[in-house]
Structure 1
């Protein structure tokens, strides 16, 4: 993977209840996406997704109001109801490495997962595999 890799045609939504995690992710990925937006809980992420069809969503699994799995479920239902041909590529970001937690994220409709702390190279590799294959 090239360190110069960018996805300037793609819109990214970063969903995490921690402002520090938002800052780490956005600074790590600055200039690599055409747009990077933020949401601080799963409900806010869903409301934003209804207005802007983000290509990639980096979703924290554990958040207040609506967690990442619940948000993914409603996003996937919305995509189905709207008959959207292009679905968001949703990557869970979780501090848990328990198989059950990861399985729960994938069963909710997430496409992949990353452990915390955020690793930009691993994230970009996942996006590259999805969109450049």
Structure 2
């Protein structure tokens, strides 16, 4: 195994630059590599191009929202047929119960509401990594 294969890689799909920087700082502090996609469409393309261990997914984004991107990622995983299931955590300002249900129904595994504190995001990530 090469060193590259041992790296835990996180994909952040988020259009807001400030939110990107905040999440990147938390993930890097945890010792993980992170790639950023500014919308769901680019997020899906990155997901197809690399092996990620976790996805942090904003919901409201241009071009392709987080719900659509998650459904596409789950479709890709199903097509590959290897039983692969990368955890996806919804990161959103929409924190109503119906919003949470929509995220779970789309195939997301967990949910965190913005604004969040660094330790809250770290706790959610640690649930899966």
TM-score after normalising by structure 1: 0.86
Partner residue of 2:68?
Answer: 70
1:100 aligns with 2:98: yes
Q: Distance in 1 between matches of 2:116 and 2:27?
A: 11
After the TM superposition, which residues 1-133 of structure 1 pair with which residues of structure 2 at under 5 Å, given as runs? 9-131=7-129
Between structures 1 and 2, the one with greater helix share: 2
Q: CA RMSD in A?
A: 1.5
Structure 1 residue ranges without an equivalent (≥5): 1-7
For residues 118 and 15 of structure 1, the distance between their equivalents in structure 2, rounded to whole angstroms, comes to 16
**Structure-2-length-normalised TM-score:** 0.88
What count of residue pairs does the alignment treat as equivalent? Answer: 124
- Structure 1 range deviating more: 118-127 or 94-103: 118-127
SS at match of 2:52: coil
Distance 1:103 1:40 in 2: 24
After TM superposition, where is structure 1 displaced by more than 4 Å over at least 4 residues in a row? none
Moved more, 28-37 or 56-65: 28-37
The structure carrying a bigger strand percent of its residues is 1
